[in-house]
Amino acid sequence: MMISFGFLATTSVRVSNELGRGSSQAAKFSIVLIVLTSFATGFILFIFFLFFRGLLAYIFTDSHDVAKAITDLSPLLACSMLLNSVNQFSHELLLAGKALWHVLT
């Protein structure tokens, strides 16, 4: 999730610079590129947590019962990682769209 916040900060600066320069096409391209990069990162983590869900629990515990509970909850964690990787940018897109609207009007 912190990776997504880092992408969010980078996107904010990049889009602001491009809009300040008057290049809305470059701002749109920057947004699309960062959203795709963030989605790819989230998808890699999604696959990682799905494939290694049985092994990740034993890093933190020796209890078989706790490891079984973590294994059962890992698909929820994987889906959450995937959705959160893109969720940060839906907010950024709304802010950039609002800023672009003010520039154009």
Check residue 81 and give its pLDDT. 81
Domain count, the chain: 1
Q: How many CB atoms lie within 10 A of CB 18?
A: 19
pLDDT tens digit string along 60-74?
888 899 888 888 888
Domain extent, residue 11, equals: 2-104
Instruction: Give residue-wise pLDDT tens across range 7-17.
Output: 677 777 777 78
**Could you give the CA distance from residue 2 to residue 5 in angstroms, rounded to a whole number?**
5
19-47: b or e for each residue (b if 16 or more CB lie within 10 Å)?
beeeeeeebeebbeebbebbbebbeebbe
* Amino acid 103: pLDDT: 57
Averaged over successive runs of 10 residues, the pLDDT of the chain (105 residues) comes to: 68 78 81 81 88 84 87 86 74 63 59
